Amino acid sequence: MDLGIRGKRALVTAASKGLGRGCAMALAEAGVDLVLNARGAEALDATAAAIRAAHGVQVTTVAGDITSEAGRAAVLAHGPFDILVTNAGGPPPGMWHDWSRDDFIKAIDANMLTPVALMQGCLPAMIKRGWGRVVNITSQSVKSPIPQLGLSNAARAGLTGFVAGTARQVAPHGVTINNLLPGIHDTDRATALDGGVVKARGLTMEEARAERMATIPARRYGTSEEFGATCAFLCSQQAGFIVGQNILLDGGAVNLTL
Ligand code: NAP
């Protein structure tokens, strides 16, 4: 399907690996020029080179911490953008009684206030042009809490509330905002979470993965490629009537009727 976005410009943050990289690759396949961000310059440049080689689009890299004001200013300086995909690393797992105020502020900063600031930076130009697409990478924990990821549950719930209202405010201008909610996907983040289970319960990595896969109706982890393809569709012309939605990509793991 031609997504109708060839020649548009997208900002994808936290995009050198994993789900962000998957989104960047899929947008590039649709002919979108990219500004990509991550902290580590080496992996970021390698991803940019792979995307240019695969799809021939323009890719600019901006290395920096997207959760810092300076990091956000550096990427936003490359605007205006037609498409914004927000992403950042997720907060660490832990126990509710151990988290300090500072831990909560850090998580809220990274996984709520950073995407909010990026939207505030990009939406005015989208509204002015009468067209825009925003996709926020959040988590299945928005619909079904993951107890040990309480920092993520809390911060992402805040972002979800902001998007629910704001998406309706910008929709009259041809701008859509939606959230993509990953369940478990085969990325470094999943390896780190499984590593925690290995350490806590004395399992092998294979056992930890097999145990987790058994809880997913699709009996496997998702891939960055299929996640990216869904993101690119949400950024397409055809997705213009999808507004303020929270779309689960979880192999059926969250047991919900609606
Ligand atoms: P990943 O494979 O660990 O990749 C994270 C990417 O983000 C890397 O490119 C990393 O590069 C970059 N990054 C991390 N912190 C950053 C920061 N402060 N500023 C700029 N770039 C940053 O993670 P993932 O699995 O793709 O996960 C992406 C998001 O989805 C996370 O928020 C995660 O919690 C959430 N999620 C993932 C899963 C899953 O199963 N994978 C499930 C639910 C939710 P640098 O380290 O070089 O900065």
Closest Cα to atom 7, ligand 1: which residue? Answer: 14
Ligand 1 atom with the shortest distance to the CA of 91: 34
The DSSP string of 181-245 is: EE-SBSSHHHHHHHHHHHHHHT--HHHHHHHHHHTSTT-S-B-HHHHHHHHHHHTSGGGTT--S-
Per-residue pLDDT reduced to its tens digit, 56-105: 999 999 999 999 999 999 999 999 999 999 999 999 999 999 999 999 99
Model pLDDT, residue 217: 98
Cα of 192 vs centre of ligand 1, distance in Å, is 11
Cα of 54 vs centre of ligand 1, distance in Å, is 22
Cα of 17 vs centre of ligand 1, distance in Å, is 7
Model pLDDT, residue 189: 87
d(CA 82, CA 5): 9
What does the DSSP 8-state code read for residue 14? Answer: S
Q: Does the C-beta of 46 come closer than 6 Å to ligand 1?
A: no
Structure pTM? 0.97
Question: And the tokens for 83?
Answer: 């498409």
Ligand 1 atom with the shortest distance to the CA of 17: 9
User: Could you say which residues of the chain have pLDDT below 50?
Assistant: none
Cα of 34 vs centre of ligand 1, distance in Å, is 18
Closest Cα to atom 8, ligand 1: which residue? Answer: 17
For ligand 1, pick from 23, 25, 39, 151 the residue to mutate: most ligand atoms within 8 Å of CB: 39
Model pLDDT, residue 193: 87
